[in-house]
Structure 1
């Protein structure tokens, strides 16, 4: 599995392509916008997009959905508790930054659900806090987790939004993400990659005591 990162949208949120190098089947994680570079890469590599996975429903992670669906008839997945955010420009914050955006075609996911996509098993980990339906996608074979806005390098997602909770995000990181193997690479929604072991030692927001 090859992983490519593209900062997209007005906030430059990280969009990832999870590419099966043999079949070219590709999963898109958090398309917050679109760009010529992003589109050109898909075309030049002759990628076959098979699904869109959303870590949560905020605008900066979803506003590129429509441009993808114009060319690929593929499912869009989000954790079930974030379905209401997807269709409400106030709750997904798009009305604060744009003229407003909504998407009502997402399929719901549940905690612990496993998806077989692009030759990989992808496990859904519900991690509420930044949003009620925030989730992470864990690829055990790749030792990788896509954490959205739950866990960043030495930080966590903001919790001053509607339906956010600081207590919940701390629990999500400590109880769910820190339960993953130490060598798991964390691919966050903003900024650069990190590892579970590093965050256990150095993340000031989730230290015990």
Structure 2
């Protein structure tokens, strides 16, 4: 029996996908991008009988981080991971836009990661893929053994993340998708920061980035 579980909590004003990832037999979990509605996320953890050991952030925008501190308070032993190239954005309310959407705050991760790092969390190996473009420090998380990619706001179903926010870059996001993500196996399931899941194979034939040749 496959013990891999990924549950989606859609939270916040722009419908951000927060993911709860765990093994059914271990009940230790990773929370990816707790963007808002911390009480709802915590209730789902209780409902599934899981104990989060880590929060992993794909990037530092307000709609992916607003519930981090509430979850930190609930689980004192939890570790927050983010890309080292995203540290500046996380620490600046203007760049992370928390100042524009409520009370501005800065966030300090417990552990900074970089491209190629492998995190052993909740019984799985998570490979960090740097995918700049939506922000300078955006990353995707590849769980190769489960054919799963959590793509944050880099790759969406038949779309891609916007690049007009602080540290965004259109050329970089196109390069990240074509050179970092489209090389993954076609059967890889993609769980994006917004919207419905997709696969790498589907995006290679239906995403507008696939037809961008410059």
- Residue 30 of structure 2 is aligned to residue 24 of structure 1: no
Which of 178, 185, 199 is the equivalent residue of 1:181? 185
Q: Secondary structure at the match of 1:31?
A: coil
For these two proteins, the number of residue pairs brought into alignment is 209
The 8 Å contact of residues 63 and 101 in structure 1, kept in 2 or not, is answered as: no
Match of 1:97 in 2: 101
Unmatched 5+ stretches in structure 1: none
Match of 1:170 in 2: 174
Which stretches of structure 1, 4 residues or more, deviate above 4 A after TM superposition? Answer: none
Q: Secondary structure at the match of 2:209?
A: coil
Structure-to-structure mapping, 1:79-118, within 5 angstroms: 79-118=83-122
TM-score, normalisation: structure 2 = 0.94
- Greater helix share, structure number: 2
Q: Secondary structure at the match of 2:211?
A: coil
1:38 deviation in Å? 2.6
- Residue 71 of structure 2 is aligned to residue 68 of structure 1: yes
Q: Output the aligned Cα RMSD.
A: 1.2
User: Which range moved further: 45-54 or 13-22?
Assistant: 45-54
- Residue 28 of structure 2 is aligned to residue 39 of structure 1: no
Q: Secondary structure at the match of 1:95?
A: coil
State the alpha-carbon separation in 1 of the partners of residues 98 and 12 from structure 2: 12
Structure-to-structure mapping, 1:194-209, within 5 angstroms: 194-209=198-213
State the alpha-carbon separation in 1 of the partners of residues 47 and 156 from structure 2: 31
State the alpha-carbon separation in 2 of the partners of residues 182 and 96 from structure 1: 38
Unmatched 5+ stretches in structure 2: none
The 8 Å contact of residues 154 and 204 in structure 1, kept in 2 or not, is answered as: yes
- Residue 96 of structure 2 is aligned to residue 77 of structure 1: no
Q: Secondary structure at the match of 1:90?
A: helix
State the alpha-carbon separation in 2 of the partners of residues 41 and 99 from structure 1: 25
1:101 deviation in Å? 2.4
> Are the structure 2 counterparts of residues 36 and 108 from structure 1 closer, same or farther at C-alpha, using a change threshold of 3 Å?
closer
State the alpha-carbon separation in 2 of the partners of residues 37 and 71 from structure 1: 13
State the alpha-carbon separation in 1 of the partners of residues 89 and 204 from structure 2: 30
Q: Deviations over 1:123-147 (max 9, x none)?
A: 0000000001000000011100000
1:44 deviation in Å? 2.6
State the alpha-carbon separation in 1 of the partners of residues 40 and 78 from structure 2: 21
Q: Deviations over 1:147-197 (max 9, x none)?
A: 000000111101111211100000000000001000000000001000000
Match of 2:142 in 1: 138
